[in-house]
Amino acid sequence: MNRYKKKVVLKKESEEFILPFIIPSKCKDLNAHFIENPPKRLDYSAIFGNTNPIEIEVGFGTGKFLTSAGKLFPAINYIGLEITRKMVQHVANQAHDGALSNVRVVLCDGRLYMKYVVPSESVSRVHVYFPDPWTKKRHLKRRVINQEFFDSAYSVLKDGAYLNLYTDHKEYFEYFLEQRNIFGRFKDTSDMGFYTPTGYEQKWTREGRDIYRAVLQK
Ligand SMILES: C[S@@+](CC[C@H](N)C(=O)[O-])C[C@H]1O[C@@H](n2cnc3c(N)ncnc32)[C@H](O)[C@@H]1O
């Protein structure tokens, strides 16, 4: 869920920072749809004009991490996946204004995009920061993290590559560790790579909440 209040108008020139992802309207079973009609996997050279390492952020919100990282590391290509249109447009505007030619965003369910569009063994790090914990039983299926996500993340990561997950939510963190154990193929590491506090981390830190961090390695 995203509670960003400001109005966002996508500039025409920012559109090139958004990668397309077409979801059929009124489709009840998207997995079945994508199995029957597999989308084209990403061609990074065609998108970025280079073969630099790829990092993916799922649920980037206001895009603080994505745009900071994009600015600091021009030799890494960043792709942000976000389910809220407004945030995709906001960060596309920022990428345009900052001339961040190594940043792209996609309006999508990051779980589906990782599974059906990101090429296998192509990503150096997957970032998931402060995902919605969805604590009500009927909402659990909305959680980004589950066995299917671990499977997709493992599959798109190169050997030795990383999955970062940070949260302020103790119960979600415990659930994440439990899911990691069930999946059983990642190892723990302390190599968090570059990080800058996201919008939500800043908010939770101001409120004095604890932050839980896990970094897994393929
Ligand atoms: C609590 S916010 C955290 C935003 C940002 N990572 C931060 O730390 O400031 C969670 C974000 O994940 C997005 N989101 C939720 N489910 C998603 C999904 N399945 N795929 C992509 N983005 C998702 C929401 O729209 C929201 O922007």
Q: Hey, what are 29's tokens? A: 């079973």
pLDDT tens string, the chain, 218 residues long: the values are: 666 788 999 999 999 999 999 888 888 899 999 999 999 999 999 999 999 999 999 999 999 999 999 999 999 999 999 999 999 999 999 999 999 999 999 999 999 999 999 999 999 999 999 999 988 889 988 999 999 999 999 999 999 999 999 999 999 999 999 999 999 999 999 999 999 999 999 999 999 999 999 999 99
Q: Hey, what are 211's tokens? A: 């932050």
Residue 89 lies in a domain: yes
Segments forming the whole domain that contains residue 199? 14-19+50-217
Pocket lining: 132 vs ligand 1, CB cutoff 6 Å = yes
Q: What is the DSSP track for 46-93?
A: HHHSS---EEEEES-TT-HHHHHHHHH-TTSEEEEEES-HHHHHHHHH
Residue 35 lies in a domain: no
Q: Look at residues 17, 119, 114, 115 and name the one whose alpha carbon lies nearest to residue 66.
A: 17
pLDDT on residue 2: 61
User: How many separate domains does the chain show?
Assistant: 1
Q: Which of 29, 132, 151, 159 is the catalytic position? A: 132
pTM: 0.97
Residue 39 lies in a domain: no
**59 alpha carbon to ligand 1 midpoint, in Å?**
3
**121 alpha carbon to ligand 1 midpoint, in Å?**
24
Residue 3 lies in a domain: no
| Contacts with 100 (C-beta within 8 Å, 6 or more apart), sequence order | 17, 67, 70, 71, 94
**53 alpha carbon to ligand 1 midpoint, in Å?**
23
Pocket lining: 107 vs ligand 1, CB cutoff 6 Å = no
CATH code, 104:
3.40.50.150
pLDDT on residue 113: 97
Q: Summarize pLDDT for 47-64 with one digit per residue, the tens.
A: 999 999 999 999 999 999
Residue 5 lies in a domain: no
